[in-house]
Amino acid sequence: MKTRDFLVEIGTEELPPKALKKLSQAFGAGIEAGLKKQELAYEQVTLYAAPRRLAVLVSALQEAQTDKDIERRGPAVTASFGEDGCATPAAEGFARSCGVAVEDLQTLKTEQGAWLVFRSTQQGQPATALLAEIVKSALDQLPIPKRMRWGDLDAEFVRPVHWVVMLFGDEVVPCEILSVIAGRETRGHRFHHPQPMYLGEPQAYAPLLETEGHVVADFQARREAVRAQVLEAASALGGQAMVDEDLLDEVTAMVEWPVAVSGTFDKRFLDVPAEALISTMKSNQKYFPVVNKSGLLMPYFITVSNIASKDIAKVREGNERVITPRLADADFFWNQDRKQKLDAHLERLNTVVFQKKLGTLYEKSERVAALAGTIATVLEGDPQHAERAAWLSKCDLMTEMVGEFPNLQGIMGCYYAQHDNEPEDVAIALDEQYLPRFAGDALPETTTGQSLAIADKLDTIVGIFGIGEHPTGNKDPFALRRAALGLLRIVIENQLSLDVKDLIHKAGEKFPANIWQTPKGKPAKASAVLSQVFDFMMDRLRAYYQDSGVAPEVFDAVLAVHPSQPYDFDRRVRAVTSFQQLPEAQSLAAANKRISNILKQAKVTEAPMWDAELFKEPAEEALAEKMVALGYKITPLLECLDYEAAMKALAKLREPVDQFFDQVMVMVDDEALRHNRLCLLGQMRSMFLGIADLSRLQG
């Protein structure tokens, strides 16, 4: 099988930096999908992406599709020829559909009989005849929200296209892509090498661009070059660069020939909270901040230029000149906001709608304050501090600083509360209310912060469910899934003894009685909606354990006994997971399922204590004695939530349970004896159900 390398490059105006990586990956995936659909084999696909280009290199691509042997079965031989041996209309019609005469057909003999069959070889198409459509299809499927036209051309793309390279081996694939005739000339850096560059063959693409064109076409290679230069520049300043991965991607997408340049700013700006300075450096200027070994911000920044300037000092001066007014704005906001206390913004919250059916931010704060106080009381914290934090929690949204930098919500609230001499835990809670902000993020550490974070998230979840705006599919505009998962993480990982079902109902009590409705807008009962909220929380809990690698049957075994305290749920999950590793686990899980089936068949819903005087077999007496002894041992373990130790103790029932089923008939004719044995089994199953339903481990 002959192969050649294939290269396609789409040369454009500067592509959107935040979209470049995704566009490149989608373009490559589209090319691969097209090649597989056309059954063209290849060895490897390499992606290239830079501000002015998207390219895909396919190594060792098959020159043509493999020839296919085609076999079409026609009518049975008995129906194909008459008694006179002449072909019937059925045979003639089949031959005609195959484009041959009846005598050119062959016979296929099977166990079911003989059939007319047409065999031929379909010659594979050359790759050059297929590549243009594969590329066009891949471009059509790119995730571009809004395409543009330019000039009087019909082509639509994310940015105007200036050149297209389509090389298969050393030959140009003749075609027109996005109103541009494909050729073999690429372009270098806009300033360092704007002239066309001749490409002899696909593998020369990346080396030619880098050595002559001043373009590092490989996104990952360029990304690591940016990282290395930024770290080196910061080290030369005696500090460490704050390299945010998303910012690194964005900067990489903005440069073709990265050159890191360090700069400085006036030390007086360090009096402004570091988060504000860092935010403006990252979001507005795309600069990398520099911190010292203690993590404190230094009066330096690192920018990445897209040109190797002959006068780096001027590049530095230009960036220093640009950043000064940005930092001055942050300084102004900081000073202006502190001229009034944070709680002075409370009344203004009445002018901001949280959700039109759920009222304003002021009304939300009122609900959250009541719920946070309740939670703090349960957690033995200070309910007054929790309520105070809740009232202040949204006030920083009204400040100049957060108006300019929304990502600083909570962070600035903490600073302003500290300036106002609010209690320290109240100030900290204003920041902690938003934790965790993303997967794996830190959790609130203060009791006040935990109370506020839980209350705020739960108020949002219950309220949005209450008005029928449930998350569906990928649609979750209020990020309820993230809020629920964050709430569960706070409770579980901080080992908080909170009952989520109880808190859901307490949150529901804070809403007006007339808000409850179904997703279709029909009135609903509050109890029904709150039940849906609890089920939603359990679904999120399932996802939490799935991501943690917990077996689904373990989660189901615990869920079956309906614990409503997430931390208690977690202890049970860990106990069952540990129990599964014991040698007795499989036998006892099977026994629990067998007992469950027996009790269900006998329609036993409640199993009172057995009567020891009715025992007739040594095996049932032994099981009962073991259960009594274990009962005294596991009761205190369950009270202190030591489920793992309790499960290990219950594992000792394996031998007496196995002997019971080997030697004792449960469903005997004697009604009293049968009932007593069912009670024994029911009591034993109840001991396990105090932790989990082990029958679920059997699938």
pLDDT digits (tens, 9 = 90+) for 49-66: 999 999 999 999 999 988
User: Which span out of 354-368, 578-592, 642-656 was modeled with the highest average pLDDT?
Assistant: 354-368
pLDDT at 329 over 90: yes
DSSP three-state, residue 506: helix
pLDDT at 86 over 70: yes
- Residue 99 pLDDT: 83
Mean pLDDT of 154-180: 94
Mean pLDDT of 113-136: 87
Q: How far apart are the first and last CA of the chain?
A: 49
Mean pLDDT of 664-675: 83
pLDDT at 496 over 80: yes
Which residues on adjacent β-strands are paired with residue 302? 262, 288
Cα→Cα distances 70→73, 120, 147, 374, 522, Å: 10, 5, 43, 75, 59
Is residue 682 within 8 A of residue 603, CB to CB? The reply is: no
- Residue 627 pLDDT: 86
pLDDT at 244 over 90: yes
Residue 614 DSSP symbol: G
pLDDT digits (tens, 9 = 90+) for 301-310: 999 999 999 8
* Dihedral, 454, 457, 460, 462 alpha carbons, nearest 10: -50
pLDDT at 1 over 80: no
Residue 523 DSSP symbol: B
Q: How far apart are CA 368 and CA 461, in angstroms?
A: 12
Give which of 581, 598, 572, 600 is closest to 657, Cα–Cα: 598
Q: How far apart are CA 369 and CA 348, in angstroms?
A: 17
Q: How far apart are CA 378 and CA 578, in angstroms?
A: 30
Residue 472 DSSP symbol: B
Give which of 401, 398, 390 is closest to 430, Cα–Cα: 390
162 burial level (CB within 10 Å; 0-12, 13-18, 19+) = middle
Mean pLDDT of 254-281: 97
Reduce the secondary structure of 59-79 to three states and give it as a string: EEEECECCCEEEEEEEEEHHH
Least confident of 82-91, 133-142, 552-561, 678-687: 82-91
The owner of tokens 């105007």 is: 160
HSE, CB side, 13 Å, CA atoms: give it for residue 278.
18
Q: Is the C-alpha dihedral spanning 36, 39, 45, 47 positive or negative?
A: negative
pTM, entire model: 0.83
HSE, CB side, 13 Å, CA atoms: give it for residue 579.
34
Mean pLDDT of 5-14: 97
Is residue 361 within 8 A of residue 394, CB to CB? The reply is: yes
Q: Is the C-alpha dihedral spanning 151, 154, 158, 160 positive or negative?
A: negative
Cα→Cα distances 154→9, 143, 166, 688, Å: 20, 19, 21, 71
pLDDT digits (tens, 9 = 90+) for 542-555: 999 999 999 999 99
pLDDT at 534 over 80: yes
Mean pLDDT of 126-147: 93
Give which of 14, 21, 121, 130 is closest to 71, Cα–Cα: 121
pLDDT digits (tens, 9 = 90+) for 445-481: 999 999 999 999 999 999 999 999 999 888 899 999 9
pLDDT digits (tens, 9 = 90+) for 12-53: 999 999 999 999 999 999 999 999 999 999 999 999 999 999
pLDDT bin (cut points 50, 70, 90) of residue 111 is confident
Is residue 16 within 8 A of residue 174, CB to CB? The reply is: no
pLDDT at 98 over 70: yes
- Residue 699 pLDDT: 57
Mean pLDDT of 337-356: 96
pLDDT digits (tens, 9 = 90+) for 362-377: 999 999 999 999 999 9
Backbone angles phi, psi at 291, to 5 degrees: -125, 160
pLDDT digits (tens, 9 = 90+) for 564-617: 999 999 999 999 999 999 998 888 888 888 888 888 887 777 767 887 778 888
Is residue 259 within 8 A of residue 309, CB to CB? The reply is: yes
User: CA 256, 216, 160 angle in degrees (round to 5)?
Assistant: 50
Q: Is the C-alpha dihedral spanning 61, 64, 66, 70 positive or negative?
A: positive
pLDDT digits (tens, 9 = 90+) for 389-411: 999 999 999 999 999 999 999 99
Q: How far apart are CA 502 and CA 593, in angstroms?
A: 31
User: What is the amino acid identity at position 563?
Assistant: P
Number of H helices, E strands in the chain: 25, 18
Complete domains list, the chain, with CATH: 3-65+127-211 (3.30.70.260), 68-122 (no CATH), 219-337 (no CATH), 344-549 (1.10.3210), 585-698 (1.10.730.10)
Instruction: Note the helical H segments in 494-525.
Output: 500-508
pLDDT at 79 over 90: no
Q: How far apart are CA 657 and CA 652, in angstroms?
A: 9
pLDDT at 72 over 90: no
Mean pLDDT of the chain: 92
Mean pLDDT of 339-359: 95
